[in-house]
């Protein structure tokens, strides 16, 4: 049976039983990769997808495959990136040793999804991106050797170092790109020692045309590994091979790195990636929403960008979680769902800092007006005043837009927010008691945000 014919029958069958959004999100992206007498191999786009399908749809899909193939075939899932590995395994199973030998090509050392094209550029990372592109276009030829990219967690270092590898390979597929985390380098070294294969270890790393080592802070305190790395570095450097390293802090701030290694690093270029500012966060959310095929309304994007600030991995995680929740619980992607997810994520480890929630809570305490009334519809004078003060404070204290403030107040329009702010700006100076109250709330809030 033809793999595509079988799979398209299965999709037809699944569409009868599953909600449309589940089919769009979780079934359509699956591709039939291989078929044998016993199984059909289905390829999914990434690891997250695989886990999700495995826990939610695998049984249903398998049942449908069995039904349509009259119990002959069962389904197996793989992540697209490991397609090469699978190809090798299947062939091995079929005992085609000869063919296997010719098919084994060197597996790509890089994650193919991390390319420059989908790396959103902003003032926080522009220099790092430009330097990376320069190095990728002419490895070893620039005076940026080594190039060291440093910055906090989840800001895109790994993405950039893989993008360098991908771009360099695209330009020259014969280039020997060696990419490793510092942990992998250490592990390879230790294994080399154990198995008396240090020469092979040295060869593997020293014959690189482009050596990429991610997260070198983990070298700290590992004297022998540093020793090895030092020699590798020197050899490559002297033969003008390009070296790119990433770290979570500025090299000289890394404790436990030998001085001679640090002084080698100084011969190159050190670039930083800073946390993204509001505009960059919005741009990244838009890009990630598009990549994941979801249509996020702009207010929701603004809302997430306002509250999730620490890093890009968290922004991405938020989008994926919204997508997962909507699909699992069969809910529309709307503001209340986004708010729930942001709250959930903020509850654990995220630095929410000041938010419209905390501002409304303080105003509610001080004015003695319930939180739900502040965001509700009431036109009672004392409630309207509390609401206006809260909007005014949101505008002054949060790095957010008028329409996103409106959304936090029960979905009001941005013109209502402008009106509230103007009212308080005019009333405040004329009304010392109101002015004092506002100042006291600001003071309390400054504790939350510090
Ligand atoms: P780090 O290595 O600095 O901890 P990563 O490179 O792993 O961070 O980035 C975390 C996630 O955020 C990755 O999925 C990456 O693709 C994404 N990411 C980081 N920076 C950007 C950016 N500027 N544009 C698009 N995606 C980004
Ligand atoms: Mg990383």
pLDDT number for residue 179: 97
pLDDT number for residue 96: 46
Q: Give the containing element (helix H, strand E) for 54.
A: helix 47-56
pLDDT number for residue 350: 42
- 183 CB contacts (<8 Å, ≥6 apart)? 215, 218
Residue whose CB lies within 8 A of the most ligand 1 atoms, among 130, 159, 314, for a mutation test: 159
**Distance, CA of 243 to CA of 75 (rounded, Å):** 43
Ligand 1, residue 121: give the atom nearest the CA: 23
CA of 181 to the centre of ligand 2 (A): 9
**Distance, CA of 1 to CA of 36 (rounded, Å):** 9
**Distance, CA of 218 to CA of 221 (rounded, Å):** 8
**Measuring CA to CA, which residue among 119, 118, 149, 111 is closest to residue 131?**
149
Pocket of ligand 1 (CB under 6 A): 114, 118-120, 125, 151, 153-159, 284, 287, 312-313, 316
Residue whose CB lies within 8 A of the most ligand 1 atoms, among 110, 133, 154, 164, for a mutation test: 154
Chain centroid to Cα 289, Å, comes to 12
CA torsion 291-282-110-177 (nearest 10°) is 140
Neighbours of 277 (CB within 10 A): 14
Residue of the nearest CA to atom 1 in ligand 1? 154
Neighbours of 15 (CB within 10 A): 15
Low-confidence ranges of the chain (pLDDT < 50): 82-92, 94-96, 98-104, 348-352, 450
**Distance, CA of 126 to CA of 129 (rounded, Å):** 5
**Distance, CA of 418 to CA of 416 (rounded, Å):** 5
The DSSP bridge partners found for residue 148 are 245, 270
CA of 277 to the centre of ligand 2 (A): 20
Cα–Cα separations (whole angstroms), residue 425 to 389, 394, 415, 430, 435: 10, 13, 15, 9, 10
> Could you say which ligand is closest to the alpha carbon of residue 288?
1
- Is the CA virtual torsion 229, 186, 154, 328 positive or negative? positive
Contact 289, 296 (CB under 8 A): yes
pTM greater than 0.75:
no
pLDDT number for residue 53: 84
* Phi, psi values for residue 60, rounded to 5°: -60, -45
Residue count of the chain? 450
- 361 CB contacts (<8 Å, ≥6 apart)? 371
**Distance, CA of 277 to CA of 399 (rounded, Å):** 9
**Distance, CA of 164 to CA of 135 (rounded, Å):** 7
- Name the burial class of residue 330, with classes exposed (0-12), middle (13-18) and buried (19+) by CB atoms within 10 angstroms of its CB: exposed
Sheet holding 39-44, edge to edge: 31-35, 39-44, 74-79
Q: Is 115 left (phi over 0), alpha (psi -120 to 50) or beta?
A: beta
CA of 84 to the centre of ligand 1 (A): 25
Tokens of 449: 């945000």
Contact 115, 163 (CB under 8 A): yes
Neighbours of 97 (CB within 10 A): 9
The 8 Å CB, 24+ separation contacts for 57-60 are 57/18, 57/22, 57/26, 57/27, 60/14, 60/17, 60/18
Q: Give the containing element (helix H, strand E) for 180.
A: strand 177-181
Tokens of 402: 């008028």
CA of 440 to the centre of ligand 1 (A): 40
Residue of the nearest CA to atom 9 in ligand 1? 156
**Measuring CA to CA, which residue among 281, 227, 287, 236 is closest to residue 257?**
227
**Distance, CA of 41 to CA of 68 (rounded, Å):** 15
Residue whose CB lies within 8 A of the most ligand 1 atoms, among 249, 292, 313, for a mutation test: 313
Contact 417, 395 (CB under 8 A): yes
The 8 Å CB, 24+ separation contacts for 439-447 are 440/366, 441/359, 441/362, 441/363, 441/366, 441/389, 441/393, 442/393, 442/396, 442/397, 444/362, 444/366, 445/354, 445/358, 445/359, 445/362, 445/393, 445/397
pLDDT number for residue 83: 39
CA of 159 to the centre of ligand 1 (A): 5
Contact 110, 179 (CB under 8 A): yes
CA torsion 313-318-320-325 (nearest 10°) is 160
């Amino acid at each position: 049976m033809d793999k595509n014919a079988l799979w398209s029958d299965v999709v037809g069958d699944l569409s009868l039983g599953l909600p449309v959004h589940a089919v769009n999100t979780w079934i359509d992206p699956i591709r039939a990769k291989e078929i044998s007498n016993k199984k059909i191999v289905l390829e999914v786009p990434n690891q997250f997808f695989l886990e999700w399908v495995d826990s939610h749809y695998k049984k249903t899909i398998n049942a449908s495959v069995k039904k349509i193939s009259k119990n002959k075939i069962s389904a197996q899932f793989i992540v697209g990136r490991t397609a090469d590995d699978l190809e090798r395994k299947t062939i091995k199973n079929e005992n085609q040793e000869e063919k296997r030998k010719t098919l084994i090509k060197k597996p790509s050392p890089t994650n193919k999804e991390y390319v420059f094209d989908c790396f959103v550029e902003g003032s926080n990372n522009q220099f790092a991106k430009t330097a990376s592109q320069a190095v990728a276009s002419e490895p070893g030829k620039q005076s940026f050797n080594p190039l060291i990219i440093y910055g906090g967690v989840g800001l895109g270092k790994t993405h950039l170092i893989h993008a360098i590898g991908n771009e360099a390979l695209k330009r020259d597929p014969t280039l020997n790109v060696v990419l490793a985390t510092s942990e992998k380098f250490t592990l390879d070294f230790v294994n080399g020692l154990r198995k008396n294969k240090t020469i092979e270890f040295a060869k593997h790393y020293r014959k690189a045309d482009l050596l990429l080592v991610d997260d070198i802070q983990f070298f700290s305190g590992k004297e022998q590994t540093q020793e090895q790395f030092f020699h590798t570095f020197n050899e490559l450097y002297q033969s003008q091979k390009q070296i790119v390293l990433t770290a979570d802090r500025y090299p000289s701030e890394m404790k436990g790195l030998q001085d001679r290694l640090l002084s080698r690093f100084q011969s190159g270029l050190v670039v930083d990636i800073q946390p993204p500012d509001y505009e960059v966060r919005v741009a990244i959310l838009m890009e990630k929403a598009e990549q994941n095929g979801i249509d996020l309304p702009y207010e929701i994007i603004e809302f997430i960008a306002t509250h999730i600030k620490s890093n890009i991995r968290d922004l991405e995680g938020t989008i994926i979680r919204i997508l997962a929740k909507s699909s699992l619980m069969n809910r529309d992607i709307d503001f209340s769902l986004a708010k729930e997810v942001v709250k959930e994520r903020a509850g654990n480890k995220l630095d929410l800092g000041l938010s419209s929630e905390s501002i409304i809570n303080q105003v509610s305490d001080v004015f003695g007006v319930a939180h739900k009334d502040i965001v509700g519809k009431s036109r009672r004078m004392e409630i309207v005043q509390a609401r206006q003060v809260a909007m005014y404070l949101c505008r002054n204290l949060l790095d957010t837009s008028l329409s996103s403030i409106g959304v936090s107040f029960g979905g009001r329009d941005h013109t209502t927010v402008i009106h509230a702010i103007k009212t308080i700006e005019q009333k405040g100076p004329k009304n010392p008691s109101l002015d004092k109250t506002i100042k006291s709330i600001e003071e309390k809030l400054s504790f939350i945000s510090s």
